[in-house]
Amino acid sequence: MSIRISAWSAFSPYGHGRLAFADGVRGGAPATPVSTKDEWARAEAHVVPDFDIVEQLGRKGTGSMDRASALAVATMRALQRDEHGSVASNPRTGVVLGTTSGSNRTQFEFTRDSLTRRRPYFVNPAQMPFALMNSAAAQCAMWHGLTGPNSTVAAGRNSAAAVLRYTSLLLRTGRANGVFAGAVEEHSGARELLEHGQTLGEGCVLFFLQTAESGNRAALAEVVASDTRFSDGAPGQALATSLRHVVPEADEVWGLALSAADAQLSEVEDDAIGEVLGHQVGTVLRPGRLIGDTGAVSGAFGLASLLAHAETDPTARGRLAVATSVDRDGTAGAIVLRLVGSQARGER
Examine the domain organization and report whether 193 and 243 are in the same domain: no
Within-domain flag for 248? yes
- Whether the pLDDT of residue 273 is over 50: the answer is yes
- Domain harbouring 272, CATH code: 3.40.47.10
Count: domains in the chain: 2
- Whether the pLDDT of residue 348 is over 60: the answer is no
Examine the domain organization and report whether 193 and 260 are in the same domain: no
Within-domain flag for 216? no
Examine the domain organization and report whether 95 and 36 are in the same domain: yes
- Whether the pLDDT of residue 248 is over 60: the answer is yes
What's the average model confidence in pLDDT over 57-76? 94
What's the average model confidence in pLDDT over 251-264? 93
Examine the domain organization and report whether 188 and 278 are in the same domain: no
Provide, rounded to the nearest whole percent, the portion of the chain with pLDDT above 70. Answer: 94
Examine the domain organization and report whether 195 and 272 are in the same domain: no
- Hey, CA dihedral for 208, 212, 216, 219, is it positive or negative? positive
- Whether the pLDDT of residue 85 is over 70: the answer is no
Examine the domain organization and report whether 66 and 124 are in the same domain: yes
Q: How many other C-beta atoms lie within 10 A of the C-beta of residue 92?
A: 16
What's the average model confidence in pLDDT over 55-76? 94
Examine the domain organization and report whether 156 and 288 are in the same domain: no
Final residue belonging to a domain, choices 180, 211, 242: 211
Examine the domain organization and report whether 182 and 204 are in the same domain: yes
Examine the domain organization and report whether 190 and 235 are in the same domain: no
Examine the domain organization and report whether 247 and 207 are in the same domain: no
Provide, rounded to the nearest whole percent, the portion of the chain with pLDDT above 90. Answer: 72
Examine the domain organization and report whether 82 and 206 are in the same domain: yes
Can you give the pLDDT at residue 347? 44
Domain extent for 316: 224-339
- Whether the pLDDT of residue 142 is over 70: the answer is yes
What's the average model confidence in pLDDT over 45-54? 96
What's the average model confidence in pLDDT over 114-125? 75
- Whether the pLDDT of residue 113 is over 90: the answer is no
For the segment 325-346, what is each residue's pLDDT rounded down to a tens digit?
A: 999 999 999 999 999 965 544 4
For the segment 287-321, what is each residue's pLDDT rounded down to a tens digit?
A: 999 999 999 999 999 999 999 999 999 999 999 99
Within-domain flag for 298? yes
What's the average model confidence in pLDDT over 94-103? 94
Within-domain flag for 348? no
